[in-house]
């Protein structure tokens, strides 16, 4: 099936078709098998039909889609349509019920730790883009540990190491050493860096890496090329295939997402994201999959969103994803306001960043470097945890310990580690 959009025609249950923006072919289909790669044509649904439904579903189709089966992309398309907005309260109730049934009342807290703002890619929307005139900094390994200590002092035990795409400044050796330096301090570390090959991911997993986060940003190949004019990140397929490479390498968590406002047709991007997440869950069934829908916020790039996704549409997208992907985690960043985040805690969010700084060294030297993007919810982890409790949920600072026999920091034998919120010192793994 071709990736190019075919003229949309009306089908039973849809309103008369109207022209819709050319968008992505979804990268996962029902016939996909574990051995097939993301470019295999069997992974491609009739994207034009789904886009037509997402833009033109009628009220009857929306009502019939409110109780979808897992991974039902036709139902998701209808729930993303303008005709579904009047059903937002019903959709939110169903999302809340699904979240409680599948995830309980827990909300996992984490924070990003920015390693470097050096970058060799030119992404037109990013505050770290190569051509921007800003002071560049890469943390030393001692500084990385100091940043982590500042975060663990606030109770956090889940960290996401983030950097620009510069394999000279932040290469595999550098990342391995970061992971080794943090092993006795942080039991759950993920990375959001440039994409790597499967052997590199295997090295990182052996060093203690738990999760890999890569946002495809947009699944519209044409738009992707426009906003990534040069650099490593320009290769759409290499980025898409990185999720499978990380999964085969043993990463326990895979995080993916799209940047709302980057492409005109945000509904098609959400559909493609859901298809991609569904495929990853089938193929890498031992791996936790999470999705995120960050909206563009101001940065040094000066990029302006090509479309505005309203708060109501944002909630619509998140709740629709929840009811169609009941076992996929939903991540919400500090790009959103405290008020909106507090509301979504009650509905479908399972992972929240807290106390975030988006510049290298920001936790011990705030303002010393330029941030990647503006943080909107600037509350501390403790304040976010209070909001989670007020919403009737349980904040989780730590839900894992390093495997193997533990050695406390003083070197004496023992089990080490703590439970509960993880505010103690977890100790080191004895090799």
Q: Give the pLDDT score at 402.
A: 55
105 φ/ψ angles, rounded to the nearest 5 degrees: -105, 10
Element (H, E) at 73: helix 73-79
pLDDT per residue as tens digits for the range 167-191? 999 999 999 999 999 999 999 999 9
Strand 329-332 relative to strand 351-353, pairing? parallel
Instruction: Please tell me which residue, 369 or 52, carries the higher pLDDT value.
Output: 52
Within 10 angstroms of residue 21's Cβ, the number of other Cβ atoms is 16
Which distant-in-sequence residues (6+ apart) come within 8 Å of 87 by Cβ? Answer: 62, 63, 66
Among the listed residues 268, 304, 237, the one whose alpha carbon sits nearest the alpha carbon of residue 40: 237
Q: pTM of the entire structure?
A: 0.84
Structural tokens at position 95: 């999302």
Q: What is the pLDDT of residues 302-317, one digit of tens each?
A: 888 999 999 999 999 9
Among 119-128, 268-277, 368-377, top mean pLDDT goes to 268-277
Task: Compute the average pLDDT of residues 356-382.
Answer: 90
Maximum distance among all Cα pairs of the chain, rounded to whole angstroms: 73
All structural domains of the chain: 104-396 (3.20.20.70)
Region 73-83: mean pLDDT is 97
Tokens standing for residue 11: 């089908």
pLDDT of 407 strictly over 70: no
What ranges in 305-426 are assigned the alpha helix state H? 311-324, 338-345, 381-390
User: What pLDDT digit, counting tens, does each position of 211-269 carry?
Assistant: 999 999 999 999 999 999 999 999 999 999 999 999 999 999 999 999 999 999 999 99
Predicted local distance difference test score (pLDDT) of residue 5 = 35
| pLDDT higher than 60, residue 351 | yes
Least Cα distance to 38 among 247, 259, 323 occurs for: 247
**pLDDT tier at 347 (50, 70, 90 boundaries)?**
very high
**In the predicted model, what is the mean pLDDT of the chain?**
84
Neighbouring CB atoms inside 10 A of 69's CB total 9
Question: What is the spatial distance between Cα 375 and Cα 357, in angstroms, rounded to a whole number?
Answer: 7
Structure tokens at 238: 């290499």
Query: Lowest-pLDDT range, 34-43, 213-222, 276-285, 374-383?
Result: 34-43
- The pLDDT value given to residue 393: 97
What gap in Å lies between CA 208 and CA 398, rounded to an integer? 16
What's the pLDDT score for residue 46?
66
């Amino acid at each position: 099936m071709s990736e190019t959009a075919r003229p949309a025609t009306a089908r039973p249950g849809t309103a008369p078709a109207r022209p819709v923006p050319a968008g992505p072919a979804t990268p996962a289909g029902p016939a996909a098998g574990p051995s097939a790669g993301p470019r295999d044509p069997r992974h491609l649904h009739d994207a034009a039909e789904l886009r037509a439904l997402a833009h033109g579903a009628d009220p009857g189709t929306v009502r019939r889609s409110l109780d979808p089966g897992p991974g039902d992309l036709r139902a998701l398309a209808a729930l993303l349509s303008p005709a579904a907005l009047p059903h937002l309260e019903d959709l939110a109730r169903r999302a809340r019920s699904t979240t409680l049934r599948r995830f309980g009342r827990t909300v996992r807290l984490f924070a990003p730790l920015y390693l470097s703002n050096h970058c060799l890619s030119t992404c037109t929307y990013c505050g770290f883009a190569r051509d921007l005139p800003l002071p560049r900094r890469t943390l030393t390994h001692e500084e990385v540990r100091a940043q982590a200590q500042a975060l663990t002092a606030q109770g956090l035990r889940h960290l996401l190491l983030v950097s620009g795409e510069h394999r000279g400044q932040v290469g595999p050796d550098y990342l391995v050493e970061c992971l080794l330096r943090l092993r006795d301090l942080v039991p759950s570390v993920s990375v959001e860096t440039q994409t790597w090959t499967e052997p590199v991911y295997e090295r990182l997993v052996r060093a203690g890496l738990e999760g890999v986060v890569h946002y495809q940003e947009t699944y519209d190949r044409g738009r992707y090329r426009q906003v990534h004019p040069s650099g490593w990140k320009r290769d759409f397929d290499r980025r898409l295939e990185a999720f499978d490479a990380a999964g085969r390498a043993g990463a326990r968590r895979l995080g993916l997402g799209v940047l709302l406002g980057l492409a005109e047709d945000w509904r098609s991007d959400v559909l493609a994201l859901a298809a991609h997440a569904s495929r990853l869950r089938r193929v890498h069934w031992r791996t936790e999959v999470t999705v995120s829908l960050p909206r563009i916020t101001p940065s040094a790039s000066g990029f302006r969103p090509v479309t505005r996704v309203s708060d109501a549409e944002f909630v619509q997208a998140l709740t629709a994803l929840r009811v169609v992907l009941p076992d996929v985690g939903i991540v919400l960043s500090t790009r959103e306001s405290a008020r909106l985040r507090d509301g979504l805690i009650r509905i479908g969010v399972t992972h929240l960043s807290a106390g975030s700084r988006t510049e290298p060294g920001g936790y011990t030297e705030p303002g010393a470097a330029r941030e990647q993007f503006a943080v909107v919810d600037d509350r501390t982890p403790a304040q976010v945890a209070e909001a989670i409790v007020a919403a009737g949920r349980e904040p989780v600072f730590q839900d894992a310990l390093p495997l193997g026999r533990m050695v406390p920091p003083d070197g004496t034998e023992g089990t080490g580690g703590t439970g509960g919120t993880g505010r103690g010192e977890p100790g080191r793994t004895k090799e």
